[in-house]
Structure 1
Amino acid sequence: MKIIENKKVFFAISLVIIIVGLSLAAIRGFNYGIDFTGGTVIQIEMDEYIPTEEIREIVDGYDSSATINHIGNQREIIQIRTTESFNNETRVSLYNEFKEKYNLDDADRLSSGQYGPQIGAEIRNKAVISIIIATIGMLLYITFRFQFSYGISAIVALIHDVLIVLAVYSIFRIPVNSPFVAAMLTVVGYSINDTIVVFDRIRENLKTAKRSAFAETAELSIKQTIRRSLNTSFTTILAITALYILGVDSIKEFTLPLIAGILTGTYSSIFIASPVWVLIKSKKGNI
């Protein structure tokens, strides 16, 4: 399959996902976690490790979107984080269900309280600023090392990756919280990697190609680097998927956007960045 020749198909696929995801986000909003919405945190000391699935049998009756973490050397302390701001009566009712089922004492409720969303707004603003600064820095660096057309194409692919991940979170109602912000910043740095590899091969192939053979050169370069890109992403996905399957909720919250971002970054480096570069070069010439 010729990637450059069928670029409109790949552009359309990405555009549909982005439009659907962001439209749903505009209509119903993102599923923000406690760090953005505020909520309740309760810590309970158990006599032994209790599986998350068993804990959810109680917690889901109060908030099905709550996250559950295991803390301590034996993971016997459970931390329940809900997006609902429970009053004291509700918190006591929730704990009493654990107390009755597991024969706990009042002292086993280590802490409980409500938290506001102020930290979420601060993290969100700093994350946006960080992404903007990183994007400008990447544009300047790639322009310096390659050409301005490469820099613009890479940034388009980068923005594409961010929007696709946001769309996925919107469509599947995945909670957006602090680990998501950290993962998104990681994705921004990672997704540019494969794109640079392809662009470096394009630059090398242009030395022996015809002056206006941009599409042919890009197609050849993609074919020469696609195996490397897929293998690198596959090995990374294996490690992150293992963390997601075996990790606790807090680890899963961090690894899930990484998985989505790496898959999207691999896709954009092959099917978005290079075709965009061909479009720019074909219209503007040597920039």
Structure 2
Amino acid sequence: MFAIAITLLGIITLSVFGLKYGVDFKAGSSVDITFKKDIGGEKAAFEQYLKDNSFGSPGITFGAKRVTLRFDDVLTDTKEKALKQGIAEKFDKDASMEVNTVDVEIAKELQRNALKAVLVASVGIAIYVSIRFEWRFAVAAIVKLLHDAFIVISLFSIFRLEVNLPFIVAVLTIIGYSINDTVVIFDRIRENLRFAKLKTVADIANVVDSSIWQTMSRSINTVMTVVFATLCLLIFGSESIRLFSVAILFGLVAGVYSSVFIASPLWFLLKSKQKTKTNVKSSAAS
């Protein structure tokens, strides 16, 4: 029910508000400012300085010695020089500033390439699982991967978190990690099928249940190890990887859930239909 609620809420927020794209996926300028001294307590003064000097209200990520500004418009050379000079005079003369600009065409190209990367990864995984197992496993795996990716996208839309290139990297990482956990369960199902006597649909259900329980401790131990590392990145990492860590954390939870409650039951559903058809044909023949 929780996954259904998140999915429905995600569809609504995506339809109404869409995603909050960072400068990587829309035209604008990103300014990274590194200070030599701690300015953590000067956020209000910094924001007021921007307003007073016609820089508007850009998105601001404020750290102790680092500030990231994200402007919706491309900064001109004059604006860049004025900003750098003002920061040196008002806050820290030793501060360094790096400006990254993305125009409209580059932003659109990045969006297309990001979508292609996710699609190519999904198709590659489907081909691998089909060869390694069978098409039913591949269908279940793709549905599970789409679920995991959409859950992360939905949560970013619901909480209005910024979507940038690290987010795409996080989604691809989630897809790769998530399929690994699913393949472990599928491999155990295939192994148990070799020694099982499948006479009814209930026999298939027992194989799936026992396979999940046999791999449960491995799945929990593995995901908890990765969650611990991700939490360390989230707590102790820099601002630049904060959203990447959040996306990974969302994806890990969704991946474990979907491996057990989506991928395996979906394979069981497809397999049970095959078993039912086989039984019907056998009865007709006799």
1:66 aligned residue (57, 60, 75) = 60
Offset from partner CA, 1:103-157 (integer Å, 9 cap, x none): 538xx56455754243332222112112222222211221111111111111110
- Cα RMSD between the aligned structures? 2.9
| 1:36 and 2:25 correspond | yes
Partner residue in 1 for 2:38 = 50
Q: How many residues align?
A: 266
| 1:258 and 2:258 correspond | no
d(CA) in 1 for partners of 2:254 and 2:19? 20
Q: For residues 186 and 64 of structure 1, do their structure 2 counterparts lie closer, same or farther at Cα, with a shift above 3 Å needed?
A: same
| 1:186 and 2:177 correspond | no
The question of whether the paired residues in 2 share the 8 Å contact of 1:17 and 1:167 is answered with yes
d(CA) in 2 for partners of 1:142 and 1:136? 10
d(CA) in 2 for partners of 1:284 and 1:127? 37
Partner residue in 1 for 2:93 = 104
d(CA) in 2 for partners of 1:58 and 1:93? 17
Q: For residues 86 and 134 of structure 1, do their structure 2 counterparts lie closer, same or farther at Cα, with a shift above 3 Å needed?
A: closer
1:122 aligned residue (104, 109, 127) = 109
1:268 aligned residue (258, 276, 283) = 258
Stretches of structure 1 lacking an aligned partner (at least 5 in a row): 1-11, 71-75
SS of the aligned residue for 1:66 comes to strand
Partner residue in 2 for 1:218 = 208
Identity of aligned residues (%): 34
The question of whether the paired residues in 2 share the 8 Å contact of 1:34 and 1:117 is answered with no
Q: Normalized per residue, which structure has more helix?
A: 2
**Structure number with larger C-alpha Rg:** 2
1:240 aligned residue (230, 252, 259) = 230
d(CA) in 2 for partners of 1:94 and 1:201? 60
**How far off is 1:57 after superposition?**
3.5
Offset from partner CA, 1:190-220 (integer Å, 9 cap, x none): 1101100111111111222231311111111
The question of whether the paired residues in 1 share the 8 Å contact of 2:118 and 2:172 is answered with yes
Higher relative contact order (CA 8 A, sep 6+): 1
Offset from partner CA, 1:69-100 (integer Å, 9 cap, x none): 79xxxxx6x45231432766876786676445
Partner residue in 2 for 1:176 = 163
**How far off is 1:16 after superposition?**
2.3
The question of whether the paired residues in 2 share the 8 Å contact of 1:35 and 1:117 is answered with no
d(CA) in 2 for partners of 1:148 and 1:154? 10
Q: For residues 160 and 101 of structure 1, do their structure 2 counterparts lie closer, same or farther at Cα, with a shift above 3 Å needed?
A: same
The question of whether the paired residues in 2 share the 8 Å contact of 1:37 and 1:83 is answered with no
The question of whether the paired residues in 2 share the 8 Å contact of 1:41 and 1:80 is answered with yes
2:73 aligned residue (53, 60, 85) = 85
AA partner of residue 209 (structure 2):
E
d(CA) in 2 for partners of 1:43 and 1:252? 15
d(CA) in 2 for partners of 1:181 and 1:113? 19
d(CA) in 2 for partners of 1:121 and 1:210? 54
